[in-house]
Amino acid sequence: FATHVSYEKDCSSITPPYEKLLQNLENVRKYLNRPLTLAEKILYSHVVDPDSSFSGSGRIRGDAYLQLHPERVAMQDASAQMALLQFMSASLVQCAVPTSIHCDHLIQAFDGADSDLKRSVVTNQEVFDFLQSAAQKYGIEFWRPGSGIIHQIVLENYAAPGMLMLGTDSHTPNAGGLGMLAIGVGGADAVDAMTGTPWELKAPNIIGVHLTGKLSGWTTPKDLILHLAGKLTVRGGTGSILEYFGPGVASQSCTGLATIANMGAEVGATTSTFPYSSNMRDYLKATGRSAVADAADKAAIQGFLIADKGAEYDEVIEINLSDLEPTINGPFTPDLATPVSQFGKFIQEQGWQDEISAGLIGSCTNSSYEDMTSVADLAKQAKAVGLTTKVPFLCTPGSEQIRATMERDNVISTLEGVGALVLANACGPCIGQWNRTDKKGEDNAILTSFNRNFKSRNDGNSKTMNFLASPTIVTAMAFSGKLSFNPLTDSITLPSGDMFKFTPPSGQDLPTNGFTVGDKSYYPAPTPVPQPEVEVVIKKNSQRLEALEPFRSHFSDADQDLELPIMKVLLRVRGKCTTDHISAAGPWLKYKGHLTNISENLLITATNDEGGEMNVAFDRDTNTSGTIPEIAKRFRDREQPWALIVDDNYGEGSAREHAALQPRFYGCAMILARSFARIHETNLKKQGILPLWLVDKDDYSRIGSGDTLETIGLSDVFADKPGSCIVVKVTKRDGTVFEIPTKHTMSLDQLKWLKAGSALNHIRSTKI
């Protein structure tokens, strides 16, 4: 590798304090007398007080609650709004840790980068003004619209081996490609780090993924994670960190590792990480961070950035990279994995049309230089025989740096030469910001190199089947137009009647002439100074932004026994209920900073298990029905606290804290679930909602809308009485009464949030 380094950054605020972390780790080792995994080393070295966290005799992984000091926070423009509104109400003058804001989610894709960007800046002006003014006031780095997608920018600028970082987006783990722990959280967790409050995490289990062999031909890092998602399912990583190790790690580029880490979110993993490698060092140097690479080299020699010999994992998954083949996942769930050789048969068996309607590449998952040059290689091969893509082919570069480097190295012109439309450096179609004009309401199939494929996610059409694949498979299929096309074996018939077969794509992990930064006006000042005199801009009568009113505690001061008030069940939600179901994205994104307006979308795509209809709830007091937000608002207006009964893995999918804020805003006090997704469960706690797990999953169907619920034993849990547990007393509408056992994961600190009405109420009371 001999890339030309075109610039060098000031690394003082982005180099982890390795000496201190190593010292902390020594302290931890006094208590944990065993070899540690890499993830444990990184996590435990960031624990605020090892003496109190590790001195007990109990198990740590999967059991202990850790108080942590993350080193950095990154926020995207949609989730940053609510996080900042919350941070503002904590009344501090600056952020306790370096923090950045990235304008990427609000950019809509219509007809190409330049006009889309201009239009989106106008449409979202008041939000960008708010974010920029808050960034100036509190000393936050502000990445303007067009600068790129949060995770790509973090990888290029801030990520460093051994670092612990929080990001208000579920694909924050992308930065794990540089051998760190980057964890997706809700805005309220980010506010913990920004206010210097220890951030709490239940110590995850560690799943070891042992990689042997080597990827080759058409198989890419994306195929590894698509394959693994099929094995683990969307729940398999819940409560765990995926730690990759073995000889198969070193041969992969840093950006390839980032793709794998990115999609660990699809199996519910807390995050993913890899041992420090020479490819990571090369990437750090190529992105102007030689000082970080040098410091990481030293830390690695001292044993920090790799697992200890003999470290034990909670589970080990073996993957031989040489055995993998390209894989296509979907539709509608990222864990339905089909090897490309079986995909044609799969399509035929389902009776689906053998046709793709669009191919989309790029996003935070797959827009590295390696991805883009591999795709350009295929485009060149196709162009040489006169082919252009058969269907719309859209490309979202991950950052201005990637885009500018692609432009300089003729990658963009090559893609455009075969029909590609290059969109702005932003999320665009990946988050439903795709103004798709064809296929409205029609059955159709798209292929993307993105990471997530819940119904309606890309174009708002629930009939669009969305399949996930590597950028090169998406590209090859866009040329063939057929779902059954297997580029490893199949050929495309040319107009001349000749047959054309792609040769396996070859890309370049780092540009020979170094990266070029592109338009510098997108970049923030390296270490911005807080400007307390700046006024944060919230437009009068804004429909996009609204100052946040603190939630009222469920408990009255006079309440001595600390049980929740008597609740009514609003509805029993059937089956999969992701954060997209609870708080839909797409057109609702514009209300992220306005709780009243965005709450109108509460659970509008959730299915009521009583009757099987979507967005229908029953008001048993008046024997009427309405949409879910309508009935929830009625309960709120009657000051009737309410609860939800939900199925397995409730809240899977993202760190969207609105999915917790909105039910709380309408008066939800408790959610009883067969199981919860980790991030969402924490978000519920932050907003003062009690999440309870049904001990007997069959109890789910015994409780229905209009039933009343009472907690028994919550006051004992508050009092930390040994053996205390929470039982829920159910009074059916016909008067039948029974009790059901539940489990909870509330720590003593989280109980303080519940008592105060929200974590923010608690933080404010401790700062005053």
Window 103-122: contact mask with ligand F3S (x via CB under 6 A)? -xx-----------------
Give the shortest CB-424-to-ligand F3S separation in angstroms.
12
Question: Cβ closer to ligand F3S: 42 or 154?
Answer: 154
- Confirm or reject binding of residue 149 to ligand F3S (CB under 6 A): yes
First to last CA, the chain: 55
Question: Cβ closer to ligand F3S: 22 or 226?
Answer: 226
Give the shortest CB-421-to-ligand F3S separation in angstroms.
17
**Within a 10 A sphere around the Cβ of 366, how many other Cβ atoms?**
33
Q: Is 186 helix (H, G, I), strand (E, B) or coil?
A: coil
Give the shortest CB-190-to-ligand F3S separation in angstroms.
15
- Confirm or reject binding of residue 589 to ligand F3S (CB under 6 A): no
- Determine which one of 100, 147, 367, 654 is catalytic: 654
What number of H helices and E strands is found in the chain? 26, 30
Residue 105 known to be catalytic: yes
Residue 266 CA to residue 558 CA, distance in Å, equals 45
**Within a 10 A sphere around the Cβ of 731, how many other Cβ atoms?**
14
- Confirm or reject binding of residue 400 to ligand F3S (CB under 6 A): no
Residue 452 known to be catalytic: yes
Residue 413 known to be catalytic: no
Q: Smallest Cα–Cα separation from 470: which of 449, 447, 445?
A: 449
* Sign of the alpha-carbon dihedral angle for 728, 734, 735, 736: negative
Biggest alpha carbon–alpha carbon distance for the chain: 85
Question: Cβ closer to ligand F3S: 652 or 707?
Answer: 652
- Taking CB under 6 A as the criterion, the residue among 277, 363, 480, 615 binding ligand F3S is 363
Strands 240-245, 205-212: pairing is parallel
- Confirm or reject binding of residue 183 to ligand F3S (CB under 6 A): no
- Confirm or reject binding of residue 574 to ligand F3S (CB under 6 A): no
Q: How far is CA 579 from the centre of its chain?
A: 11
Question: Cβ closer to ligand F3S: 161 or 398?
Answer: 398
- Confirm or reject binding of residue 658 to ligand F3S (CB under 6 A): no
* Sign of the alpha-carbon dihedral angle for 379, 382, 383, 387: negative
Residues constituting the chain: 768
- Confirm or reject binding of residue 449 to ligand F3S (CB under 6 A): no
CA angle 72, 164, 143 (to 5 degrees): 30
- Determine which one of 72, 102, 171, 656 is catalytic: 656
Question: Cβ closer to ligand F3S: 76 or 705?
Answer: 76
Question: Cβ closer to ligand F3S: 171 or 572?
Answer: 171
Q: Which stretch binds ligand F3S (CB under 6 A): 33-41, 385-393, 440-448, 450-458?
A: 450-458
CA atoms within 13 A on the CB side of 523: 15
Question: Cβ closer to ligand F3S: 121 or 725?
Answer: 121
Strands 337-339, 327-329: pairing is antiparallel
- Confirm or reject binding of residue 255 to ligand F3S (CB under 6 A): no
Instruction: Provide DSSP, 279-291.
Output: HHHHHHHHTT-HH
- Confirm or reject binding of residue 430 to ligand F3S (CB under 6 A): yes
- Confirm or reject binding of residue 678 to ligand F3S (CB under 6 A): no
Q: Is 206 helix (H, G, I), strand (E, B) or coil?
A: strand
Q: Smallest Cα–Cα separation from 737: which of 587, 622, 566, 515?
A: 566
- Taking CB under 6 A as the criterion, the residue among 144, 151, 227, 568 binding ligand F3S is 151
Give the shortest CB-263-to-ligand F3S separation in angstroms.
9
- Taking CB under 6 A as the criterion, the residue among 25, 28, 299, 427 binding ligand F3S is 427
- Confirm or reject binding of residue 451 to ligand F3S (CB under 6 A): yes
- Determine which one of 53, 100, 102, 104 is catalytic: 104
Give the shortest CB-169-to-ligand F3S separation in angstroms.
5
Query: Which residues lie below 8 Å from residue 384, measured CB to CB, with a gap of 6+?
Result: none
Question: Cβ closer to ligand F3S: 167 or 204?
Answer: 167
Q: Which stretch binds ligand F3S (CB under 6 A): 120-128, 252-260, 343-351, 423-431?
A: 423-431
- Confirm or reject binding of residue 188 to ligand F3S (CB under 6 A): no
- Confirm or reject binding of residue 171 to ligand F3S (CB under 6 A): yes
- Taking CB under 6 A as the criterion, the residue among 107, 431, 447, 684 binding ligand F3S is 431
Residues 281, 105, 263, 75, Cα dihedral to 10°:
60
Q: Residue 728 belongs to what H/E stretch?
A: strand 727-731
Give the shortest CB-457-to-ligand F3S separation in angstroms.
9
Residue 104 known to be catalytic: yes
- Confirm or reject binding of residue 448 to ligand F3S (CB under 6 A): no
Query: Which residues lie below 8 Å from residue 220, measured CB to CB, with a gap of 6+?
Result: 256, 259, 326, 371, 374, 470, 471, 472
- Taking CB under 6 A as the criterion, the residue among 150, 311, 328, 603 binding ligand F3S is 150
- Determine which one of 46, 281, 289, 452 is catalytic: 452
Number of residues that bind ligand F3S (CB under 6 A): 15
- Confirm or reject binding of residue 226 to ligand F3S (CB under 6 A): no
Q: Which stretch binds ligand F3S (CB under 6 A): 133-141, 149-157, 601-609, 736-744?
A: 149-157
Instruction: Give alpha helix (H) positions in 385-444.
Output: 400-408, 411-417
CA atoms within 13 A on the CB side of 160: 27
Question: Cβ closer to ligand F3S: 3 or 461?
Answer: 461
- Confirm or reject binding of residue 628 to ligand F3S (CB under 6 A): no
- Determine which one of 46, 61, 105, 581 is catalytic: 105
- Taking CB under 6 A as the criterion, the residue among 364, 387, 445, 690 binding ligand F3S is 364
Query: Which residues lie below 8 Å from residue 238, measured CB to CB, with a gap of 6+?
Result: 267, 268, 269, 649, 677, 678
- Phi, psi at residue 525, to the nearest 5°? -65, 140
**Within a 10 A sphere around the Cβ of 348, how many other Cβ atoms?**
12
Strands 315-320, 205-212: pairing is parallel
Buried b (16+ CB within 10 A) or exposed e, 187-217: bbbbbbbbbebbbbbbbbbbbbbbbeeebee
**Is there a cis peptide before residue 331, judged by omega within 30 degrees of 0?**
yes
- Confirm or reject binding of residue 169 to ligand F3S (CB under 6 A): yes
List contacts with ligand F3S (CB under 6 A).
104-105, 149-151, 169, 171, 363-364, 427, 430-431, 450-452
Would you name the residues annotated as active-site residues? Answer: 104-105, 169, 452, 654, 656
